[in-house]
Structure 1
Amino acid sequence: MRVFVFEPREERRAGLIVELRSSGIEPQMITEDFFSAGLGGHSEAKIDTSAILLGEYPEVQRHIRALRQRGCANPLIVLKDFRNAQGTAELLNIGADDVIVSPIRGAEVHSRVNSIIRRLYGHAADSVVVGELTAFFDGSDPIVSGSRIKLSKREHSVFQHLALNSNKVISKDAIYDAIYGASIDQPFDKVIDVYICKLRKKFAKAADSGWQYIETVHGRGYKLTTPE
């Protein structure tokens, strides 16, 4: 799971990064520019489910308003230093999705982000069933015809976006942007095709029907779909 993190306080930043990484979260640190110039491209990536974590600082309310007014619908969580009912209510009322009070624990952040994401895409339950395949939104490996299928970290990222949008076509560019975004370690152009191929092989091998579950819609992208 990739998240954007804005924490201007240097003394808090290092510990937060370590805690998030311990729970399988990839923090991408952002600067003040993200709320102006950097926001445009991000808000256009509708498939991008990356959460935005904001530390507690004087401009946090202004930044929340800026994100929401520019059309950013991504999960937005504020990390508060102390519990304050009135302050929490104000943050939620202006557009924050959740508020977590210190001490910040990576596992809790991970679960809260997953909860917001699945509701954002219209899923009330913690999983979705597509034919013989059960996809989970909490990071658990999928089950195909009763067998748990082990996925790599990147395979999981690709599969999650397909599962959140099951039976809908998702473009390769949208998946790529959601997974790698502005990372300096962007891989080659065909990497999504490689992961799709690996997922298909694993699903077809495990499924009683032999169905690959990921359909290519030529000129448009990919779709997680039930057996014909």
Structure 2
Amino acid sequence: MQLECACPVCGQEISDLPVTILPERGMVVANGKFAVLTGSESLLLQRLAEVFPRVLTKEAALEWMYQFAAEGEEPEIKIIDVYICKARKKLEPIGVRIDTVWGKGYALALDRKPVIVREAA
């Protein structure tokens, strides 16, 4: 079911809105609903959106998320699977799916590129 809403200016029905990610707030808006993610889940989803429609490997995700970590403080690669699992549980109710591409990594299963909205500092 695709939720429709109206433009606040002209009142025209708006449907098929893109998935919107607000990384600073840890929020994802889709189909007229929203989900709140932790900082790490939000970072990972942001990166998946940036590389969309390509596949994000676990290694690339780990390197990107912990690029400023001190040598030896980088967690095990399995943590990416944990973040994906937790994010999936929060995103499923709003209709956003993260697919596993076996032997490669993860990708967003969307019709079009999500919008990332950055807040001004």
Q: Of the candidates 66, 70, 74, which is equivalent to residue 186 of structure 1? A: 74
User: Structure 1 CA distance, aligned partners of 2:101 and 2:92?
Assistant: 18
Q: CA deviation at 1:181?
A: 2.2
**Would you say 1:204 and 2:92 are equivalent positions?**
yes
The residue number in structure 2 matching 1:148 is 34
Question: Distance between the aligned counterparts of 1:145 and 1:163, measured in 2?
Answer: 17
- Map of 1:165 onto structure 2: 51
**Structure 1 residue 156: deviation in Å?**
1.0
**RMSD over aligned Cα, in angstroms?**
2.1
Normalising to structure 1: TM-score of the pair? 0.37
- Higher relative CO (Cα under 8 Å, sequence separation at least 6) belongs to 2
CA distance in 1, matches of 2:52, 2:36: 20
Q: Is the 8 A contact 1:144 1:203 kept in 2?
A: no
Rounded Cα–Cα distance in structure 1 between residues aligned with 2:89 and 2:58: 18
Q: How many residues align?
A: 92
Q: Percent identity?
A: 33
1:139 aligns with 2:27: no
CA distance in 2, matches of 1:148, 1:201: 13
Pick the aligned partner of 1:218 from 90, 93, 102.
102
Once the two structures are superposed, residues 10-68 of structure 1 have per-residue CA deviations (whole angstroms, 9 ceiling, x without a partner) of xxxxxxxxxxxxxxxxxxxxxxxxxxxxxxxxxxxxxxxxxxxxxxxxxxxxxxxxxxx
Which structure dedicates a bigger proportion of its chain to helix? 1
* Offset, 1:199: 1.0
**What code does the residue aligned with 2:69 have?**
S
CA contact (8 A) 1:166 1:225 kept: no
In structure 1, the gaps of 5 or more residues are 1-127
TM-score normalised by the chain length of structure 2:
0.66
User: Displaced runs of 4+ in structure 1, greater than 6 A?
Assistant: none
For the pair shown, the structure with the greater C-alpha radius of gyration is 1
Point out where structure 2 has 5 or more consecutive residues left out of the alignment. 1-16, 112-121
